[in-house]
Structures are given as structure tokens and as C-alpha cells.
Amino acid sequence: VSTDLDNAPTLRMRSIGALTPTSEPRIAHRGCYTTGSRALAATDTTTLSRLQVVGGAVVPLPTGSPERAPRKWQGLYALKPWYTRRLTPIVNVAVARGISPDVFTAAGVAAAGAAGVTVALGWWPLAALFLALRLAGANLDGAVARARGVSRPWGFVVNEIGDRASDLLTFAGLAVWAARQRGPGLHWLSWPVLMVLVAALAATLPTFASLAAAAAGAQRRNGGPLGKTERCLFVLLATAFPVILPVVSTQLVNGSLITATLRLRAARRELAAKRRGEEAAS
């Protein structure tokens, strides 16, 4: 054990066996906690977390919130900063004119409704345009709120309701499109329609997982591997190529289940790390 400038002892690797006999070191790496050799490989090869002496016992100092660690499996959500920069002129106009962020939430829902109509009609080029506008609205409401300094808890509620309404409108259009694939008229009692409905239900699971974790005190996680952006892309593919609609629906279900599982696992580890930090601090 050596001492740095702020008198916080630092544990050298050669002392691991003496001071941590019951567990391997754990660190946050890409949003997930890992142990053993992977943990050591992700850290400095000469030192581990700083330690402090409390009541004659050596305990680790808090390492910071796991929310700051980069998240794994972001999917197309990783493009959000780039997309936000493209929307900067609109944000500037909204700030200059005092436009409410709720206006962009409503515009996103309206664009999703228009996307649902064009999907139902099979007009995929227009569907692509309206889906892009739907994503822009979902991005702009938060960006404008932050730029104007008017972020509020109720805005989080409005944003979530808007996103869920947009998803329902989009999948409703896809269900109509699926019902039109068995000949003239609408064939609601068909496998394509059933698969779309199951996919729509499965698509709600990642959001439920994120909101439940946020209510427990964890980070509100977004992104993939199958998040909002991927859902829009899959709907567009099923509209442009109806022959792959069953495949797209199946992958929507699989991707939603995987995404929900990953978010729950990350939230569980984050909450466990917070509990350990609180116990160490006390």
C-alpha cells in the first residue's frame, strides 16, 4: 500500500491476494460491471481503486456513479449526438422564439400518425420521410428544453407518453398493411397481422424495463440493440418489402426481448453498485 498526494492509499496488484481474499475486483466497463482478469484488463495495470481506512479496516472509496460509464449495445442510438447537431438550426430558432418543447413532442406524434397512414397504404418513401420527422420531434423536445433551460419532471412524462403514442400509431399502420397482404380487402384474422400485434406488444418491453429501473433509482436507459430508431427502420423495411414482414416481426420480438433483458441486467448491476457504495460510505 502506497500513498498519493491526497493521502488516499492505493492498492498495488501484488497486494490483491492479501486484501481481497473473498472476491475479485469489480469495475464499470461500458455500462456493465465485470470481474477477474477482464476487470484488470480494463483498468490501469498497476493500481486498482483507491482505498480508505475506516475504523481500522481498509474499504474502497466510492468510484463515482455508474451512469457515467459508456453504455454497451447502443445500436443506432449512438448516432443521436450526430443527429442532434444536424437539428441545431431548428433548436436555435425555437430558443429565439420561445417555442415550447411540447410543440415538438406533439409534432413528433403527428408525424408518427402520418407515418402510420403511409405505412398502411404501402407508400414507403413517404413513410421514410414521416418516420424521420417522428424521430426528429422526439429528439428536438429534449434538446429545446435543455437549450431554453425549461426542463421539468412533467416534461419527462410528456415525452414518454408521446413516444408510446408514436409507436402505437406506427404499428397500427403496419397491422393494416399486414392485413392487406392476403388479397383484396382487410384480412385481420391472418398470421401476418397476429405477428405484427405480437411484435407491437414486445416492443413495449424495453420501455417498461427502463421506466421500472428509473423508478427504482437507476439510470433511464435508451438505445439498442433494438430501440426506437431500429423499430422505425424495421417498420420501413416491412413496408417496402412486404414479403419479409414475418421475418421483420420475428426479429422485432427477439430484439425487444434481448434489449429489455440487457437493460434490466445493467439496471440491476447499477443498483447493486449503488447499494455497495452506500454501505461502504456508511
| CATH code assigned at 172 | 1.20.120.1760
pLDDT of residue 14 exceeding 80, the answer is: no
**pLDDT confidence of residue 74:** 67
Q: Is 41 within the bounds of a domain? A: yes
Q: Is residue 14 part of a domain?
A: yes
Report the pLDDT averaged over residues 43-51.
Answer: 37
pLDDT above 90 for 264:
yes
> Are 179 and 244 part of one and the same domain?
yes
Looking at the structure, do residues 88 and 59 belong to the same domain, yes or no?
no
Percentage of the chain beyond pLDDT 90 is 61
Tens digits of residue pLDDT in 102-123: 999 999 999 999 999 999 999 9
Domain assignment of residue 276, yes or no: no
Tens digits of residue pLDDT in 146-204? 999 998 989 999 999 999 999 999 999 999 999 999 888 899 999 999 999 999 999 99
Q: How far out from the chain centre does Cα 176 lie?
A: 28
Helix (H, G, I), strand (E, B) or coil at 279: helix
> Using an 8 Å Cβ cutoff, are 25 and 48 in contact?
yes
- Answer yes or no: is 172 within a domain: yes
Q: Buried (b) or exposed (e) across 231-267, using 16+ Cβ within 10 A?
A: bbbbbbbbbeebeebbebbebbbebbebbbebbbebb
The pLDDT tens digits of the residues spanning 54-90 come to: 444 434 444 444 444 345 566 777 777 888 888 999 9
Q: What is the model's pLDDT at position 82?
A: 84
46 plus 81 within the same structural domain:
no
Cα–Cα distance list, 22 to 17, 36, 220 (Å): 9, 12, 32
Whether residue 68 lies inside any domain: the answer is: no
Specify whether 87 is located in the same domain as 47: no
Verify that 82 and 125 share a domain, yes or no: yes
What mean pLDDT is predicted for residues 236-253?
96
Owning domain of residue 81: 75-269
Distance of CA 229 to the CA centre of its chain: 10
Shared domain check, 214 and 161: yes
When computed from its CA atoms, the radius of gyration of the chain, rounded to whole angstroms, is 24
Q: Is the pTM of this model over 0.85?
A: no
Q: Output the pLDDT for position 39.
A: 35
Average pLDDT, the chain: 80
Cβ count within 10 A of residue 114: 19
User: Is 145 domain-assigned?
Assistant: yes
70 is a domain residue: no
Residues 233 and 212 in one domain: yes
Query: Across residues 2-28, what is the average pLDDT?
Result: 43
Are 157 and 35 found together in one domain? Answer: no
The percentage of residues in the chain with a pLDDT greater than 70, rounded to a whole number, is 74
In this predicted structure, the answer to whether residue 272 has a pLDDT above a threshold of 90 is yes
For strands 32-35 and 47-54, give the pairing.
unpaired
Per-residue confidence at 101, pLDDT binned at 50, 70, 90? Answer: very high
